[in-house]
Copies of this chain bind each other. A is one copy, B any other.
């Protein structure tokens, strides 16, 4: 049995962004679009902030699924980008798995659209190959809450760690003293309530 605490380590983790495509996003209805957009970009910002190797993949972007969300493409210009010719489970694509293995990391952070397919399938495959897998649940979306709940139970039963982007950032950062301003900035950009706290604080400080 695995140890109770699979803890993220920024030196041993890679990020996989699976099928965040402009067409597929219209299928996501278990999270409000404003929030979902924010969560996905927050996760991308985390990947960059913690300098994690990141791999992008898409499914059929020439067709109705649409292109990768342009913001993501722009944020990771040098990352491996695997436009899969047909495999639904990205893990069935050799280039994708090779790109992962090339990172040398044993912890995989996964998010994508839709949760029970584009996320759950590679999650289960990766666990089977011995990786420690962390699902960024709030940067993954699907048709409705019922579908999501079923996918979560399947992944949890297999040993996946269910995270959110904020918990992920905190577990990777470990200690505010590593960089107060950088992390504070990241939170301010993606958590309106935190931004308000900071703005109130700064105003009072400067009075």
Report which A residues bind B (CB closer than 8 A).
3-5, 7, 22-23, 25-27, 29, 31-38, 59-60, 62-67, 69-70, 85-89, 92, 114, 116-117, 120-121, 124-125, 127-128, 137-138, 143-144, 146-147, 149-154, 156-159, 161-164, 166-167, 170-171, 173-178, 191-201, 203-205, 207
Rounded to whole angstroms, the CA-CA distance of A4 and B4 in the bound complex is 17
Identify the closest chain B residue to A174 (Cβ). B88
In the complex, the answer to whether B204 meets A205 with C-beta atoms within 8 Å is yes
Question: Which residues on the B side are within 8 Å of A207 (C-beta)?
Answer: 62
Tallying the copies of this chain within the complex gives 8
In the complex, the answer to whether A88 meets B124 with C-beta atoms within 8 Å is no
In the complex, the answer to whether B164 meets A67 with C-beta atoms within 8 Å is no
Tell me, rounded to whole Å, the shortest Cβ–Cβ distance linking A196 to chain B.
4
* Residue with the highest number of chain B CB atoms closer than 10 Å, among A38, A92, A149, A164: A164
Question: Which residues on the B side are within 8 Å of A87 (C-beta)?
Answer: 174-176
Rounded to whole angstroms, the CA-CA distance of A161 and B152 in the bound complex is 11
Tell me, rounded to whole Å, the shortest Cβ–Cβ distance linking A144 to chain B.
8
Query: What are 12 A-B residue pairs whose CB atoms fall within 8 Å in the complex?
Result: A7-B124, A22-B196, A23-B196, A29-B29, A36-B192, A64-B198, A88-B171, A121-B170, A143-B164, A150-B152, A151-B162, A151-B167
In the complex, the answer to whether A194 meets B27 with C-beta atoms within 8 Å is yes
